[in-house]
Amino acid sequence: MYIQQLYTSCLSEAAYYIEDNGECAIIDPMRDIDSYLKLSEERQSVIKYIFETHFHADFVSGHLDLAKQTNAPIVYGPETQTSLPVYIAKDGEEFKVGKLTIKVLHTPGHTLESSCYLLKDEHGKDYCIFTGDTLFVGDVGRPDLAQGGDISVSDLAGMLYDSLQNKIATLADDVIVYPAHGPGSSCGKSIGKETTSTIGIQKQTNYALNQTSKEEFINAVTKGLETPPKYFAVNAQINKDGYNSINNILQQGMTALTIEEFKSLAKQEKTFILDTRNSTTITQGFIPSSISIGLDGRFAEWAGALLPFDETILLVCEEGKEEETIVRLARVGFDKVKGFLQGGFEAWQAAGEKIDMIIDVEADELAMDLPHDDNLVVVDVRKESEFAEAHVKDAVNLPLADMTDPALITNIEERDNLYIHCAGGYRSVIASSILKRQGFHNLRNVLGGFKKIEEQKIEIIKATPAK
């Protein structure tokens, strides 16, 4: 028996490779499937099954491309509704991989079709469980992602309680837990830092498994849920309906464009420029009106949250990073990359084309300017929960995820001197580029974000601790 977790940090996503006696199965594959094909080839095993725990909302699965490459069936749990060629398993149905047995446990709650896969060793002993978004380390899947229908969030939360109590908490303490996500994922409220655990540890430490009643559980898992990222519904639908092969997307996107070709395409309607260079580099110069989201952070998530899916994308990348950019965009459903600027921003600048910049300032400069500038406005682009915990006095909270909504920035005036900050500096660069694209140029990016601001003699408002 061989099990490998294939973890994608920028999306906090875990896929799994399970192998025994020359046969293997893949659980929850990412859209770019080469790593699974390579692993099975290196280990001289045949991919027999592709298991999906549910219709993922936070990334586009590789199930269709992987099935075409291997002829392995795609297996979903009960209550799955799709026109795609998949096998819908029954609750309790078992599949053999070598001498191992994989048993389907239907665990609705995160979604209606959500299922876990219990792996039994060659002796029939429960060894581990692949919990998808039903159970995480320290958390459970959010129950507010159902699309359409009459099922409420509370209804799904109640189903999740029953699933956990009747299907998962009854397993032996030594059964290993392999979830679909780790820390940073928006599929849970506060997922723990580890990416594996055991049933016993989760019974002791997971708040959701320690509620005394279904009512308390429903309240605990639904309280404090932040609005899901806007791209979640798009990705879930793509996974249900199907998608273009990633090879076709790469073939189109890996088109090197001359400056003149790039400029001509940029003038077309429903076309925008995306600059993916490092966030610390972008501020020194970029093409006017481009949106800057650096590959050095949670790139795909912010692209999904902020960018339109129905528009053509032109890329400006660090040379050699073009393919990585296209793949990471495809993971969250972006298929309309038309090409990239040949030679990157350096070629654009060398040709004497117009450029824009974002002024960087240290936190101590903000501290010096605050008392003397009546027009200075501190714009905090962290989440509402981060802002509530602690923020600069009189700061305006404009969460990055909401910044593409023009209605939310109507209170910003031309005379305002905007000092933009986030927690550490990555999100504020994205926010600054969006504001510049919307016509606000009197702004500065605070280097180091709130972490550095707290070190200054600036009045900070902190949340009152609960008694």
Output the domain CATH number for residue 364.
3.40.250.10
Please report, rounded to a whole number, the percentage of residues in the chain having pLDDT higher than 90: 90
Contact status, residue 420 vs residue 366, Cβ threshold 8 Å: no
Q: Which amino acid is residue 116, in one-letter code?
A: C
pLDDT at residue 466, rounded to an integer? 53
For the segment 281-295, what is each residue's pLDDT rounded down to a tens digit? 999 999 999 999 999
pLDDT at residue 149, rounded to an integer? 64
The verdict on 150 and 176 lying in the same domain is yes
The verdict on 292 and 409 lying in the same domain is no
pLDDT at residue 408, rounded to an integer? 73
pTM for the full predicted model = 0.93
pLDDT band at 314 (very low <50, low <70, confident <90, very high): very high
Q: Is residue 238 included in any domain, yes or no?
A: no
The verdict on 311 and 389 lying in the same domain is no
Q: Is residue 34 included in any domain, yes or no?
A: yes
Average pLDDT of 444-457? 96
How far the first Cα of the chain sits from its last, in Å, is: 51
The verdict on 338 and 374 lying in the same domain is no
The verdict on 176 and 43 lying in the same domain is yes
Burial degree of 331 (CB within 10 A; 0-12, 13-18, 19+):
buried
The verdict on 274 and 367 lying in the same domain is no
pLDDT at residue 145, rounded to an integer? 85
Average pLDDT of 270-279? 96
Asked which of 350, 382, 405 is the last residue of a domain, the reply is 350
CA distances from 11 to 27, 244, 454, 459 (A): 16, 21, 29, 35
d(CA 424, CA 405): 23
Does residue 24 register a pLDDT over 60?
A: yes
For the segment 364-376, what is each residue's pLDDT rounded down to a tens digit? 999 999 998 999 9
Cβ contacts of residue 39 below 8 Å, gap of 6+?
Answer: 4, 6, 17
The verdict on 73 and 196 lying in the same domain is yes
The verdict on 215 and 260 lying in the same domain is no
d(CA 146, CA 191): 20
The verdict on 257 and 207 lying in the same domain is no
Q: Within 10 A of 221 (CB to CB), how many other CB atoms are there? A: 28
* Closest alpha carbon to 315 in 363, 366, 265: 265
Reading the block at residue 431, the tokens are: 């926010």
For the segment 164-188, what is each residue's pLDDT rounded down to a tens digit? 999 999 999 999 999 999 999 999 9
pLDDT at residue 225, rounded to an integer? 87
Q: What is the 3-state secondary structure (H, E, C) of the chain?
A: CEEEEEEEHHHCEEEEEEEECCEEEEECCECCCHHHHHHHHHCCCEEEEEECCCCCCCCCECHHHHHHHHCCCEEECCCCCCCCCCEECCCCCEEEECCEEEEEEECCCCCCCCEEEEEECCCCCEEEEEEECCEECCEECCCCCCCCCCCCHHHHHHHHHHHHHHHHCCCCCCCEEEECECCCCCCCCCCCCCCCEEHHHHHHHCHHHHCCCHHHHHHHHHCCCCCCCCHHHHHHHHHHHCCCCHHHHHHHHCCEECHHHHHHHHCCCCEEEEECCCHHHHCCCECCCCEECCCCCCHHHHHHHHCCCCCEEEEECCCCCHHHHHHHHHCCCCCCEEEEECCHHHHHHHCCCCCECCEEECHHHHHHHHHHCCCEEEEECCCHHHHHHEEECCCEECCHHHCCCHHHHCCCCCCCEEEEECCCCHHHHHHHHHHHHCCCCCEEEECCHHHHHCCCCCCEEECCCCC
Output the domain CATH number for residue 217.
3.60.15.10
The verdict on 221 and 273 lying in the same domain is no
The verdict on 345 and 372 lying in the same domain is no
* Closest alpha carbon to 380 in 342, 348, 418: 418
Q: Is residue 13 included in any domain, yes or no?
A: yes
Q: Is residue 37 included in any domain, yes or no?
A: yes
Q: Is residue 397 included in any domain, yes or no?
A: yes
State the virtual CA torsion across 273, 278, 281, 283 in degrees, nearest 10. Answer: 50
Asked which of 322, 350, 378 is the last residue of a domain, the reply is 350
Q: Is residue 300 included in any domain, yes or no?
A: yes
For the segment 31-61, what is each residue's pLDDT rounded down to a tens digit? 999 999 999 999 999 999 999 999 999 999 9
Reading the block at residue 253, the tokens are: 């996107």
For the segment 242-259, what is each residue's pLDDT rounded down to a tens digit? 999 999 999 999 999 999
pLDDT at residue 406, rounded to an integer? 73
d(CA 457, CA 316): 39
The verdict on 387 and 273 lying in the same domain is no
Asked which of 233, 256, 285 is the last residue of a domain, the reply is 233
Q: Is residue 260 included in any domain, yes or no?
A: yes
- Total count of domains within the chain: 3
Q: Is residue 467 included in any domain, yes or no?
A: no
The length of the chain in residues reads 467
Q: What domain range is 365 assigned to?
A: 359-462
